[in-house]
C-alpha cells in the first residue's frame, strides 16, 4: 500500500494533482481544499490511500494523516465508496465530520452532495462508536474568516491554471452569492471552478 507520497508537483487539475516521485508521475485525486495548497514546481507531501479495483488503481491524497484515516473509516459504512468519502472531506474538516457523527447532526452530513437523510442516519448509526475523539469547539463545517477566503480561492484558481483576471472575476461572482456565514474554502473554490468551467 502507498501510505504517502513526497515529490515535486508537476500539474494540478480540478480534482487531481500529478506528483513526480523518483521519475514517475503519480496522479493523486484530491479534494479542492488540498489542491489549493499545492503549487506546481514545489515539493509536496500527501498522505495517500490506494483504492484497488479489478480495472483500476486509484490514489487519493490528503493534507494529513488524520484526513486519510477518516477517509478510510468512512468507507466502512454501508454505501460509502471513495468518491463519497472524499466528498465528505471536501465539505467538512475531519473534526467537523466527527462532531456531526457523534452528535447525530444529520443536517450537517446532508450538506455533502450524494448524502441524503437516510444515508446520514446510516453514517451516524454505523460510525458513532468508532469515530474517535471529538475536538471541543469543532464547527459544523470547516469555516473560514470572511476576509481570508478571497485570497485563498484566488491563489488556488491561479495555481490550477486560470489567469489572475479570471480568478478575480470568479471570486467576485462567488462573493455575491454568499448570504449569511461564510462557507468553507473548499466549497467556495468548487463554486468558483464551476463558474469558470462555464466560460472556458
Residue in 8, 67, 15 with CA at minimum distance from that of residue 39: 8
Helix, strand, coil percentages (3-state) for the chain, rounded to 5, are 45, 20, 35
Where along the chain do the CATH 1.10.8.10 domains lie?
A: 149-198
Lowest mean pLDDT among 13-17, 38-42, 122-126, 192-196: 192-196
The pair phi, psi for residue 21, each rounded to 5°, is -125, 115
Fold for domain 65-128? DNA polymerase; domain 1 (1.10.150)
> Of 104-113, 146-155, 165-174, which range is least confident?
146-155
1-56, pLDDT tens digit by residue?
A: 789 999 999 999 888 999 999 999 999 999 988 998 899 999 999 999 999 998 88
**Run of H or E residues at 13:** none
Enter the pTM of the model: 0.67
Domain with CATH 2.40.50.140 in the chain: 4-62
Nearest to 173 by CA among 59, 165, 186: 165
Give the CATH number of domain 4-62; options: 2.60.260.20, 2.40.50.140, 3.40.50.300, 3.60.70.12. Answer: 2.40.50.140
Architecture in CATH of 149-198: Orthogonal Bundle (1.10)
Mean pLDDT of 100-121: 92
Q: Cα 113 from chain centroid?
A: 12
Q: 188: how many CB neighbours lie within 10 A of its CB?
A: 26
Q: Once rounded to an integer, what is the mean pLDDT over residues 54-76?
A: 94
Amino acid at each position: 500500500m502507498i501510505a504517502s507520497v513526497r515529490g515535486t508537483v508537476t500539474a494540478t487539475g480540478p480534482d487531481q494533482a500529478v506528483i513526480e516521485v523518483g521519475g514517475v508521475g503519480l496522479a493523486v485525486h484530491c479534494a479542492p481544499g488540498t489542491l489549493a495548497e499545492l503549487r506546481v514546481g514545489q515539493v509536496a507531501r500527501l498522505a495517500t490511500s490506494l483504492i484497488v479495483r479489478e480495472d483500476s488503481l486509484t490514489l487519493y491524497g490528503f493534507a494529513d494523516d488524520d484526513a486519510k484515516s477518516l477517509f478510510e473509516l468512512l468507507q466502512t459504512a454501508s454505501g460509502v465508496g471513495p468518491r463519497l468519502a472524499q466528498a465528505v472531506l471536501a465539505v467538512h474538516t475531519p473534526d467537523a465530520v466527527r462532531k456531526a457523527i457523534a452528535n447525530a447532526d444529520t443536517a450537517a452530513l446532508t450538506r455533502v452532495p450524494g448524502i441524503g437523510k437516510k444515508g446520514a442516519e446510516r453514517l451516524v448509526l454505523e460510525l458513532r462508536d468508532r469515530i474517535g475523539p471529538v475536538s471541543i469547539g469543532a464547527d459544523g463545517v470547516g469555516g473560514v474568516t470572511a476576509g481570508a477566503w478571497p485570497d485563498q480561492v484566488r491563489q488556488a484558481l491561479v495555481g490550477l491554471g486560470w489567469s489572475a483576471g479570471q480568478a478575480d472575476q470568479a471570486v467576485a461572482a462567488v462573493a455575491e452569492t454568499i448570504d449569511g456565514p461564510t462557507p468553507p474554502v473548499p466549497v467556495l473554490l468548487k463554486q468558483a471552478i464551476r463558474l469558470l468551467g462555464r466560460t472556458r
